[in-house]
Amino acid sequence: MMFTRTAVLGAGTIGASWAALFAASGREVTVYDPAPDAEARVARMVEAAAGPLADLGWADAGDMSRLRFTADPADAVVGAGFIQESVPERLDIKHALYARIEPALEPGAIIGSSTSGLMLGQMQDGFANPGRLVLAHPFNPPHLIPLVELMANARTDADVLDTAQKFYESLGKVCIRLNKEVPGHVANRLQAALWREAIHLASEGVASVKDIDLAIAHGPGLRWAIMGPSLLFHLAGGDAGMRGLCAHLGPAFETWWADLGTAHMTPDVVEMLVKGVEDEAAGQSVADLASQRDKLLIGYLKARAERG
């Protein structure tokens, strides 16, 4: 097993989810978070994640004995071969944290940052020696969603990205590599583009928030769970593949692209979205909806694994 001792820095939703997965995989996990209720929050996540992780084959799912808690980040990284950093999305907070942990890092330890939008180069400035830091952005909840976006650069030590990818893959992750820094990385930019048009369509009265969600969940979203949009459009081109698709529907896509709208988070738009999802949820709590999501997600992941 790679990196039998790990650390999680920051125990919000993402960090707690990582901690549950690391522990379920049989690893020792030291969790740092300065909040007084951090241990209780992580315990709730470990308990909630136990069933889904057990369904996915993780024998140690729900084992709290593998977790240790500390209010000192330097203490958290002592002895850890891999550190998952998931503190708030502010450079000043991340840089302050890096300055505290760097003297205590084990030789060869790797730090993966869960940042959803900050750039690797920005974060590296918080280290005197930034060679062991990589961008490692998961998707929520990381104990279930396989995707991890990885990035290194010229300041990263040569062995780090390959080693980090092998570690994440040992946890069942599917890793992609970013070759260039852009705000929001890849997947967040793609979903932001889709959501912008969804908000525009709702704002223009084309369809309700609920029906726009249904259009994705029961239409292209089902296909996107199997293959990405480019490969799916290649299939749509029949025997001629992508070249045929571009010849047949390329002009139509050009027209649609030209007509796509913009969206701004004005108070009216926010209220429209809040009212829209409240109507769609029909009284179900966030916890109920998350449970439904996770059950369907687990079913999909198990079916995909069984079919290779």
Share of the chain above pLDDT 70, in %: 100
**Confidence (pLDDT) at 277:** 96
DSSP string, 139-175: -SSTTT--EEEEE--TTS-TTHHHHHHHHHHHTT-EE
Tell me which H or E stretch contains 9.
strand 5-9
Q: Tell me, what's the pLDDT at 110?
A: 98
Render pLDDT for 270-296 as a digit per residue (tens, 0 to 9): 999 999 999 999 999 998 998 899 999
Residue 9's pLDDT band, with cuts at 50, 70 and 90, is very high
CA distance 63 to 20: 9
Query: Whole-angstrom Cα distance, residue 154 to residue 307?
Result: 39
Give pLDDT, residue 234: 96
Overall average pLDDT of the 163-175 stretch: 97
Q: State the pLDDT confidence band at 11, using cuts at 50, 70 and 90.
A: very high
Other Cβ atoms within 10 Å of 270 Cβ, number: 11
pLDDT grade for 261, boundaries at 50, 70 and 90 = very high
Q: Checking phi first, is residue 281 left (phi over 0); if not, alpha (psi -120 to 50) or beta?
A: alpha
For the segment 138-158, the average pLDDT, to the nearest whole number, is 96
Q: How confident is the model at residue 270, as a pLDDT? A: 97
- Whether 308 has a pLDDT exceeding 80, the answer reads no
Sketch the domain layout of the chain as residue ranges: 5-177, 187-306
- Measure CA 103 to chain center: 29
Residue 305, pLDDT above cutoff 90: no
pLDDT in tens, 84-129: 999 999 999 999 999 999 999 999 999 999 999 899 999 999 999 9
CA 16 vs. chain centroid, Å, equals 13
- The answer as to CATH 1.10.3720.10 being correct for domain 5-177 is no
Exposure string for 153-187, b = 16+ CB within 10 A, e = fewer: beebbeebbebbbebbeebbbebeebeeeeebbeb
Give the model's pLDDT for residue 67. 96
User: What is the Cα–Cα distance from 205 to 211, expressed in whole angstroms?
Assistant: 11
* Chain center to CA of 75: 26
Work out the average pLDDT over 294-301: 92
Average pLDDT value for the chain: 95
Tokens, residue 298? 């687990």
| Domain 187-306 grouped into CATH 3.30.420.40 | no
**Per residue in 30-89, pLDDT tens?**
999 999 999 999 999 999 999 999 999 999 999 999 999 999 999 999 999 999 999 999
Q: Is the per-residue pLDDT at 1 higher than 90?
A: no
